[in-house]
Structure 1
């Protein structure tokens, strides 16, 4: 009986999906090819509904009669997924992934806006022109939802590339009453430097969050929302091809990384702390790590959960927020601040390699400051150390000082104190005092809670 209690929901779901497939009730995203794109396609918008009852089997929704779809619960959150330009006509590869993760996160209505007929064309300008027609279609549908009792505050539009601006057009029609718009690398060509009414902007929803990953090519460069994230500076993404000889991936990898990064945050397990800063270089130099203005919550986390910082962000000025990633999932790094104070007689220029360990050989994460920095007597030098993974309960630190100059004489770095602060978790900083680092010689120390009186 105990086993059957847990197997029953699974078996019922399986039978439901099998039945749906057998009777042809699953509606799929329009699959076109390069021939369609070459000839061009006229706008046709199809709305595919996914819920926890049909998370892999889309249902084509009537634009005029919502009563035909009892599984569409108007009291739930409704999230619209709006894709962008499709020059080859193929369906986006990430559609099923984002849909399933959203439904795992919350019992909601996920509406996939399929405007592949209209987006599939080699004429980008025509696709841009079609965005207004798509927005009008979505607007009319949301109006039907509102007439049926749905709250605009419960509507979330997630727009990719051209889809980000479509979301903005929809939101503007409702005078910014839509609950949330998420723009994933909003399209730059034909939208850059346009007035607010011709692109996504902060007035289009109660909260607008935007991610930039390709500002030097296909994406929009300047801020568009209440908070704008710039992953890896918003340009070249780790793991993406660096030369044109890599084929199509060279052109689309940076742009599409925005969707992949956002999807990775939906479950609430993976996320990146992002810091407001005037430039990416200042961020990497550790000049923008103060999060006091955000109170106990700390600086915002990029992604699905940034809505938790809504009230604070709405009171602040528009700013750029930076974070870095790895080249594959899990993408998000763990950030530490390393403060070093020396008492050598003269200043020292060089690099410091930092390894953190929790006492096991399996947890040895390395970070090397990428710039030649100056260590000065009785002056704290701040190093922003980023590690590929999070490490809990740090117990040891290994340090290597180097100058990077073969002809330079051997130097020692006489360290008065080093302090390691975890920027991800509310943990007390760890310290080590009074030791010497020989050039190119690694030294390992156990870390202790800092003696605050010494700082």
Structure 2
């Protein structure tokens, strides 16, 4: 059973100090068929990982990075791993940086995120030198992990004398605090050949602006996402995090094939235009898919509606706006979203 997040003494501005030893971070190779079927490697033991009998250099490799106050035993990682284990066409590696993602957000977790991102890029570059194909790498990160994905991408590019980038980074509601509106750099379209972003809690826990090659704004990209309870604005409580977490629920559903529905989205200038059916048609494909199978030749902002319960995807129906009360599993009436524009 996955572990629940414990909030006592783990507040956003809490006093608990995170472990600053970057060597505590580790690779976890999941090969299935169950979550328990995995192998753990220290970051500097990457050669052993590449030689693991369950690791294939001919397959694409997904590296997933969890967020603040999370580790490999948290619900989000279980959901993501279980989704990927339904596939047989790739390697799955989790970057477990749980001890470093703990403590005070400002003085511990964000600093550790930036330092670890640079160190991780060093080892990833060494793996490329050992035969891992950079063209087969896809990094996916949630929240603070989404910002770390950008750091890794930038550093890999620098270490390759700015001649080679990671093909794709996917950020699931990348973290907002301290990354936007400050002197700190944040995830951007320059961090990989293609950067897709899913926004579900913009302006609160998630990035407030378009920050990738393609940005997806399901249900407007803000709180409240359909099916989420009214926020109690208690920092890091389940209610408060519901919309932020919805990004990885969407991603996991897009990875597995349990449901035939897709997250179809269309290009628009903003949420208001999407609601009014005013779409951007510049000769590109009229609708695209959000999530794992997103095409990597698109740019701009894309909008869609989802259900409030699984299956979240509404297929083609999701690109035509309906009143929120008509969405399956939604318990919020239109107008209850305090940040919707």
Tell me what 2:111 maps to: 129
SS for the counterpart of 2:284 is helix
Q: CA deviation at 1:71?
A: 2.3
Q: Is contact 1:33-1:90 (8 Å) kept?
A: no
Q: Is contact 2:18-2:104 (8 Å) kept?
A: no
Q: CA deviation at 1:90?
A: 8.8
Aligned pairs for 1:183-194 (under 5 A) are: 183-194=171-182
Tell me what 1:433 maps to: none
Q: CA deviation at 1:141?
A: 2.4
Q: Is contact 2:4-2:74 (8 Å) kept?
A: no
Taking structure 1 as reference, are residues 388 and 252 closer, same or farther at Cα in structure 2, changes over 3 Å only?
Answer: closer
Give the structure-2-normalised TM-score. 0.80
**How far apart in 2 are the matches of 1:115 and 1:102?**
20
Tell me what 2:256 maps to: 267
Equivalent of 2:47, from 50, 61, 66?
66
**How far apart in 1 are the matches of 2:156 and 2:234?**
43
SS for the counterpart of 1:251 is helix
Q: Does 1:255 align with 2:244?
A: yes
Equivalent of 1:103, from 85, 88, 102?
85
Q: Does 1:157 align with 2:139?
A: yes
Asked which structure has the greater RCO (Cα within 8 Å, sep 6+), the reply is 2
Tell me what 1:437 maps to: none
SS for the counterpart of 1:167 is helix
- Structure of greater Rg: 1
Tell me what 1:293 maps to: 283
**How far apart in 2 are the matches of 1:174 and 1:368?**
43
SS for the counterpart of 1:163 is helix
Taking structure 1 as reference, are residues 336 and 211 closer, same or farther at Cα in structure 2, changes over 3 Å only?
Answer: closer
Taking structure 1 as reference, are residues 326 and 146 closer, same or farther at Cα in structure 2, changes over 3 Å only?
Answer: same
Taking structure 1 as reference, are residues 123 and 180 closer, same or farther at Cα in structure 2, changes over 3 Å only?
Answer: closer
**How far apart in 2 are the matches of 1:299 and 1:369?**
20
What are the Cα deviations for residues 300-344 of structure 1, in whole angstroms up to 9, with x where unaligned?
1111111xx323x2xx5xx22111111111112242899xxxxxx
**How far apart in 2 are the matches of 1:161 and 1:42?**
20
**Aligned pairs, how many?**
308
Taking structure 1 as reference, are residues 219 and 70 closer, same or farther at Cα in structure 2, changes over 3 Å only?
Answer: same
Q: CA deviation at 1:33?
A: 5.3
Tell me what 1:448 maps to: none
**How far apart in 1 are the matches of 2:131 and 2:72?**
36
Q: CA deviation at 1:160?
A: 0.4
Q: Is contact 2:122-2:156 (8 Å) kept?
A: no
**How far apart in 2 are the matches of 1:182 and 1:387?**
26
Taking structure 1 as reference, are residues 216 and 337 closer, same or farther at Cα in structure 2, changes over 3 Å only?
Answer: closer
Q: Is contact 2:308-2:328 (8 Å) kept?
A: no
Q: CA deviation at 1:125?
A: 3.7
SS for the counterpart of 2:146 is helix
Q: Does 1:168 align with 2:138?
A: no
Q: CA deviation at 1:34?
A: 5.4
Q: CA deviation at 1:192?
A: 0.8
What are the Cα deviations for residues 49-97 of structure 1, in whole angstroms up to 9, with x where unaligned?
112467532211242352452322223211111011118x794202122
Q: Is contact 2:26-2:40 (8 Å) kept?
A: yes
**How far apart in 2 are the matches of 1:164 and 1:56?**
25
Q: Is contact 1:274-1:323 (8 Å) kept?
A: yes
**How far apart in 2 are the matches of 1:203 and 1:320?**
16
SS for the counterpart of 1:274 is strand
Tell me what 1:204 maps to: 191
Tell me what 1:79 maps to: 62
Taking structure 1 as reference, are residues 66 and 90 closer, same or farther at Cα in structure 2, changes over 3 Å only?
Answer: closer
Q: Is contact 1:214-1:254 (8 Å) kept?
A: yes
What are the Cα deviations for residues 346-372 of structure 1, in whole angstroms up to 9, with x where unaligned?
xxxxxxxxxxxxxxxxxxxxx9768xx
Q: CA deviation at 1:145?
A: 1.5
Q: Which runs of 5+ in 2 are unaligned?
A: 158-163, 330-341
Taking structure 1 as reference, are residues 90 and 263 closer, same or farther at Cα in structure 2, changes over 3 Å only?
Answer: closer
**How far apart in 2 are the matches of 1:99 and 1:323?**
25
Q: Which runs of 5+ in 1 are unaligned?
A: 1-27, 339-366, 371-385, 390-455
Aligned pairs for 1:112-123 (under 5 A) are: 112-123=94-105
Tell me what 2:335 maps to: none
Aligned pairs for 1:214-363 (under 5 A) are: 214-235=201-222, 236-244=224-232, 248-268=237-257, 269-288=260-279, 291=281, 293-295=283-285, 298-306=286-294, 309-311=295-297, 313=298, 316=299, 319-333=300-314, 334-335=316-317
Taking structure 1 as reference, are residues 182 and 55 closer, same or farther at Cα in structure 2, changes over 3 Å only?
Answer: same
Taking structure 1 as reference, are residues 125 and 324 closer, same or farther at Cα in structure 2, changes over 3 Å only?
Answer: farther
